[in-house]
Amino acid sequence: MTALKFTVLGTRGSVPVEGKNFSRYGGATSCYKVSAGKEEIYLDAGSGIVSALPARDTNITILLTHMHLDHLVGLPFFIALTEKDRPIDIYSNKRSGLMPKEAIDRLISNPFWPCKIENYPAKVSFHLLPEKFFIGDVEIDTLEGSHPEGSTIYKLTRQGKSLVYATDFEHNPAACESLAAFSKGCDLLLYDAQYTAEEYERYRGYGHSIPQEGIKVADAAGVKKLVFVHHAPLRNDEELAKLESTFGVSFAKVGDEFLL
């Protein structure tokens, strides 16, 4: 029996890209769907959420890591928002002193968008993140990561299977130690590897990591499968395939599914 079904909808960091050179790994920004019985849980709402086709009889929850545009830009176009009275729960930590709805209202309102989230037909509820809570029978644990203005790391556990989503995470000894402990023994770890080691020297402090550090965390945690996410926006399919070959670790591809 499958406890958690994980589907990749958007893999990019920073900005969406398109074209034949980005077709395999995908050009949409961060969004991943976790299916667990009647629960349909979306990790972030980047442009990848635009392609989502939610089932009619599921409970929809969106877990936001933070409020940067690449993780939120798809939300106004999420098809479930157009379904009358469809309950949708959105969770986030407080960011830059703003409650979740206050932050989203900065984007989804005039003059940037012609309506607010409450004007959609769906019934949207906003929630501050507890450290631990349940969505149906899925246990949700949270850890604050190393990123400018913060970014939530999520662990989802059901029927003894677990996955950890650690995007927008910048490595340092303390942060990596905490993430390894948080991810201990998990079945799937999604780790931000936007930069190469050479690039990182130019982008230190931007809030992202490199493959070598993800491998160290995965080894320390004893995770069963490591997948790299938040691809640099202009890193094409050929370049990502070369990195996969170099490190022997998968870089997330749009449409990938993992059954846990």
The answer to whether residues 171 and 209 touch, using CB atoms and an 8 Å cutoff, is yes
What pLDDT score was predicted for residue 211?
A: 98
What sign does the CA torsion over 112, 118, 119, 120 have? Answer: positive
Adjacency order of strands within the sheet including 39-43: 123-128, 87-92, 59-63, 39-43, 31-36, 5-10, 257-259
pLDDT under 70: residue ranges of the chain: none
What pLDDT score was predicted for residue 1?
A: 82
User: Rounded to an integer, what distance in angstroms lies between the CA atom of residue 78 and that of residue 72?
Assistant: 11
Domains, the chain: 5-259 (3.60.15.10)
What pLDDT score was predicted for residue 231?
A: 98
What pLDDT score was predicted for residue 229?
A: 98
